[in-house]
Structure 1
């Protein structure tokens, strides 16, 4: 499902990710990508607390990074 408020897909991951991140930083919680990325980051941190050899920080980065990637490239 594509989000109508998401920047246009230019075909270049780096430029699309930069535009999405800039929008998230500018709009804060009003941006449609901010809440899902934070929720997945929190879920990753909780999972990281329970899994051996995975820290809370690594879980947070993995969860937020996964959801951010899926917001930029929903396919």
Structure 2
């Protein structure tokens, strides 16, 4: 899809890493008042639980993966 494609996603002109950095800075500054904090923490908890249950993945890897997935979903819905 080209950036001029009217049917394309609205977020095509944004970069992922700067958006993620801005979101993380907002979470760090506002704490639990930021709208992304609770979903990201929930994703981290679910990932840690899944990592603890799976034999190959450890809970820290699951925690980071779960938080990463939820952060991505908050940035790119």
Same fold? TM cut 0.5:
yes
Give the match for residue 3 of structure 2: none
Cα distance per residue 1:19-56 (max 9 Å; x no partner):
11110000000000000000110011011111011101
Cα distance in 1 for residues equivalent to 2:43 and 2:15: 24
Question: In terms of Rg, which structure is larger?
Answer: 2
Question: 1:39 matched to which residue of 2?
Answer: 42
CA RMSD of aligned residues (A): 1.2
Report the secondary structure of 1:54's partner residue: coil
TM-score normalised by structure 2 residue count: 0.80
Runs of 4 or more above 3 Å deviation:
none
Gaps in structure 2 of 5+ consecutive residues: 1-10
**How many correspondences in the alignment?**
66
- Kindly report which structure 2 residues correspond to 1:1-75, keeping only aligned pairs within 5 A, or say none: 11-74=14-77
C-alpha separation in 1, matches of 2:40 and 2:16: 17
